[in-house]
Amino acid sequence: MPTNYPTPSSDSPRGPEDLAGTTLALLEELVRNACENDLTPDSGQEVRNAETLEAFFAGTPVTTRRIEPHPGRVSLIVTIEGTDPQAEPLTLLGHTDVVPVDAPAWSRDPFGAEIVDGQIWGRGTVDMMGLTAAMAVVTREIATSGRPHGTLTFAAVADEEARGGLGAGWITAHQPDAFDWRNCISEFGGSHLQASDGSDAVVVAVGEKGAAQRRLTVHTQPGHGSMPWRKTSAVQKIAEVATRLAQMPLPSAHDDLWRHFVSFFRFDPATEQALLAGASDEVYEAFGDLAPYAHAVSHLTVAETVVGAGKAINVIPGTASLELDIRTLPGQTDDDVDQTLRAALGDLAEEVEIERLISAEATVSPTDTPLYTAIEETIKEFFPDSAVVPVIGSGGSDMQFTRPLGGLGYGFSLYHRESTLGQMLRRWHATDEHLSVADLELTVAALHRLVTRFVGSH
């Protein structure tokens, strides 16, 4: 049963408590809609969340538009036209699908949206229904308080977890004018870093690594499993390929983002120099629980994820394959990736077929823009003594489509100091995913302040 949300009135502006309560109620419903995306076309069924959001905006002075490239895979675009055509627009880019759950492994109902001990539990609370709900609430609040100077759009898109093929990616390819891509706010921002001297910082995502997925295939002579004498199974060969790749050195980063990130922690000079030089893996232990993230955003990474060989137990297979989830740094190309793989394979390189699967360049937005400045100023209102540190995401988001179109994309939320980047990363796609209600309240308050600062409000 849909929630009956109170409709805001321009005659009685609401306070932070009202916005927070409405955001929490909307988040509960979005989580319970259980829009699980298992990367197949008929999964997701984000139509459920689209209908929830349509009901939420009913009677509000906005224009709404449905985009449905496949049955049930619905994106909803909500727009408030600005009063000044020359003013900068802003798009709040949220997604409405979630990754699948292993329900027996959860200690609570993954789609129950239970609130226990100040936390709301459920798949999508962190990634990214909490922020999507806050975006919807802020958009409706702006709409009912008078038109902004710049056009404000809330895009609740499908299929982000499958790299946007039926969501933002499909829209950019087929209906790129569905909304304005020039200034976009999305996920992976707002958590905190803490330096060795006690200093605090809030992270803002300004970019993300690229994708260079590969399938490696080897061939040998097949034979009967009862007579393996002097026969090399394709399994043996692909195992050697996997071993060599696991041992290869990985190209590392030396850009300004990495230097800025490292310098914030105020490590001793020797550790800082080793990190900036791309030294051995052991030095990353200085980051503590952030070590996996720090290593990922400073290197080309290669994860061996899928292996295939053979069909019958009594047949020595003649073909085997290994699939790789490869994430690139800004400036690294597909040719760079293939060259790195072939160098690692050495004398096996000529015997291995390298097939390119999904490829997407790493993207980064500059930090000398009016939108980034507005983000910094907003964070400073809430945390005046905290630094603001730009970072890149180790995974992907829908902002990968913003930047190639010439737009800006930044990840923005706002959490309390105890919600560190390491802690939030552990909840991303995790069993027992949960979000602090206090962090949700802070996010909607900060987002409302950012939107009114950037596009204005009456």
| Same domain flag for 341 and 375 | no
pLDDT value of residue 278: 73
| Same domain flag for 117 and 169 | yes
DSSP-assigned beta bridge partners for residue 374: none
| Same domain flag for 259 and 343 | yes
Contact (Cβ atoms closer than 8 angstroms) between residue 434 and residue 119:
yes
pLDDT value of residue 18: 86
Report the chain's terminal Cα–Cα distance, integer Å: 34
| Same domain flag for 26 and 173 | yes
Contact (Cβ atoms closer than 8 angstroms) between residue 414 and residue 376:
no
Contact (Cβ atoms closer than 8 angstroms) between residue 353 and residue 216:
yes
Amino acid at 141: E
| Same domain flag for 266 and 348 | yes
Classify residue 52 as exposed, middle or buried by CB count within 10 Å of its CB (0-12, 13-18, 19+): buried
End-of-domain residue from the set 360, 376, 392: 360
Tell me the C-alpha distance between 189 and 290, whole Å: 15
**Domain span holding position 355:** 209-360
Mean pLDDT by 10 residues, the chain (458 residues): 51 64 97 97 97 97 97 98 95 97 96 96 96 98 93 98 94 95 96 94 96 97 91 94 95 90 95 86 92 94 96 95 96 96 97 95 95 98 97 91 94 96 92 97 97 85
Is 120 within the bounds of a domain?
yes
DSSP-assigned beta bridge partners for residue 91: 153, 184
- Classify the phi-psi angles of 448: left when phi > 0, otherwise alpha if psi is within -120 to 50, otherwise beta: alpha
Tell me the C-alpha distance between 182 and 99, whole Å: 28
Residue 284 φ then ψ, to 5°: -70, -10
3-class DSSP state of 253: coil
Domain count, the chain: 2
pLDDT value of residue 8: 52
pLDDT value of residue 12: 45
pLDDT value of residue 163: 87
Is 293 within the bounds of a domain?
yes
Classify residue 265 as exposed, middle or buried by CB count within 10 Å of its CB (0-12, 13-18, 19+): buried
The model's pTM is 0.91
DSSP-assigned beta bridge partners for residue 75: 67
Is 2 within the bounds of a domain?
no
Tell me the C-alpha distance between 357 and 216, whole Å: 10
Is 204 within the bounds of a domain?
no
Angstrom distances, CA of residue 151 to CA of 81, 205, 248, 449: 5, 23, 49, 16
| Same domain flag for 91 and 233 | no
Contacts of 328 (CB under 8 A, 6+ apart): 209, 210, 211, 212, 300, 336, 337, 361, 362
Can you count the helices (H) and strands (E) in the chain?
13, 19
Tell me the C-alpha distance between 81 and 273, whole Å: 50
Is 388 within the bounds of a domain?
yes
For the packed helices 130-144 and 47-57, what is the interaxial angle rounded to 10 degrees? 30
CATH code (residue 226): 3.30.70.360
Token pair of 410, please? 């930044």
DSSP-assigned beta bridge partners for residue 299: 252
pLDDT value of residue 4: 56
